[in-house]
Amino acid sequence: MKMVVRVLIAFMVPVFSFSQGKIGVIVNKDIATAIQPKIQQYVADLAAIEKVAVWLNNSDFNALSSASALRDSLRHHYINGNLTGVVFVGDLPITYYELREDVHGIYSFFPCDVYFMDLNGVWLDTATNGTWGVTGYFDQHVGNRTAEIWMSRIIGSNTPALGNELTVLNNYFDRLHLRMTGQDDLPRKMCIFGSDVEFPTMESWINDPLLGYKPDEMVVYRRSTPAMTDSQQNWIKVLQEGVEYSLVFEHSYEYGHSMNPFFSHHDYLSMTPQSNSRFYYLVAACLVSRYTVPNSLGLLYAMGHQGLLAIGSTKESGIGGGREVFHKLLGQNHSFGAAHKEWHNQIVLDTTVPEHIQEYMLKACYGFVIMGAGNLKLNKYNVITGSDPEPGKQQVNVFPNPFSSSTSISYTLAEPGNVVISVYNLQGVLVSTLVNANQLAGEHVVEFSGSDLPSGLYHVRLQSANRIETGKMMVAK
């Protein structure tokens, strides 16, 4: 992977404390200065929208750093700071796991990010050079193997077909900001695509009620349906038209899928999306997310065109099970990272199944990784909170929301009286008092200008004689 000149610098970014835990953002110190504005925006979005504390480290680690030192740092923040997940930005340490015999009965080794998810287990390297294995690759994972945190990677250096590292990262964080602030044009549509002939478990993911998609919001391409088959042309059509969430069940390798005919990374790079939609991918396929291989398809899905996130395997053998765990959490608006962690703990590490199944799951699934920001959620981000008003009570609505310069705040009073409407920032500092007057019962509208405010989340507060209501609004520039 490409290395750049080392720059030692630490940026002062406020750490916000919320009950939902802490998300870590670890940035390769060699590129920290160059992408500082994008990282600061991402940290601000995490704090304002996800309501989590953010631990930012952009001065201690790069690709040559010790993986164990990085894991120790994660463990420290898990024990002392309620760390729930971490995003690696740029080239950072990679650990490999090796199998004397994988599910196909042959030797294999692969990048294994589970090492950074399980912070209490013991990772051993017992096979040395000259035996069946390689010194420096883990070959045993024992003790408490439960994953304590989720992790994901945002990598810009290993997709040269998309441009240089900084270009790829800057473009990605721009898309991420649009998604997290609700400004993107993401269609409510899900696609399931693959060979149901070779992967019969694919059928269990179709018409899955856990995500809340309606029948007309789902499209299925399968090998057994000639009119809607899993062809290269149909997959390109899906990618061009845009869907919210795509699941792919195909025999694959680093650079492509065995569709009919074959779909390669060249096909992906040569197509032009026809929409501004963002994409999430769950690729239950071999090798497609081996991010150490330049221009691997999983990396391109996450970092290229309109991509945001891809979950796939760095090794041979994908997996088609665990839908009831993974989709249940996504449907409850948990993040992809949290859903992946629980899938790993409940399905991959299931000790209630026979030992040969446990062994198979380790061999098949320890290569699953997340490319992109693991904090992302499937459902469209909505920065307005609150429930339906009680009959006879006042209610507050903000439209448009998010907004860049001005917005309208409308409210209905159940009875006449003094009303105060105020706007506060996330630190609780009063930004503006819009109304402080006696008003009649009924509907009212007040304009609010945010042209002089920085981007971020703000609280609007309505107080009357017997009721206080608060809502949220987003300034997005």
> What does the alpha-carbon distance between residue 135 and residue 115 come to, in Å, rounded to a whole number?
17
Confidence check: pLDDT of 253 > 70: yes
Beta strands, E only, 209-251: 218-222, 245-249
Report the pLDDT averaged over residues 178-191: 79
Give the pLDDT mean for 354-378.
93
Kindly state the average pLDDT of the residues 328-348.
91
Of 82-96, 218-232, 355-369, 414-428, where does mean pLDDT reach its minimum? 414-428
How far apart are alpha carbons 286 and 104 in whole angstroms?
Answer: 12
Residue 436: is it exposed, middle or buried by C-beta count within 10 angstroms (0-12/13-18/19+)?
exposed
List own/partner pairs for 461-466 with CB under 8 A and 24 or more apart.
Answer: 461/420, 461/421, 461/422, 461/423, 461/424, 462/394, 462/396, 462/411, 462/419, 462/420, 462/421, 463/419, 463/420, 463/421, 463/422, 464/394, 464/413, 464/417, 464/418, 464/419, 464/420, 465/417, 465/418
In angstroms, the Cα distances linking 181 to 318, 356, 417, 461, 472 are 33, 46, 35, 21, 12
Contact 361, 348 (CB under 8 A): yes
Distance CA 50, CA 35 (A): 22
The pLDDT score that the predictor gives to residue 371 is 96
**Burial environment of residue 447 by CB neighbours within 10 A (0 to 12, 13 to 18, 19 or more):** exposed
| pLDDT confidence tier of residue 318, bands split at 50, 70 and 90 | low
pTM comes to 0.78
Q: What is the Cα–Cα distance from 342 to 360, expressed in whole angstroms? A: 18
Q: What would the pLDDT profile of 421-472 be if each residue is shown by its tens digit?
A: 988 887 677 899 999 999 888 888 899 999 889 888 888 888 876 666 777 7
Report d(CA 378, CA 247) in Å as an integer. 13
Task: Please report the sign of the dihedral spanned by the C-alpha atoms of residue 315, residue 317, residue 320, residue 321.
Answer: negative
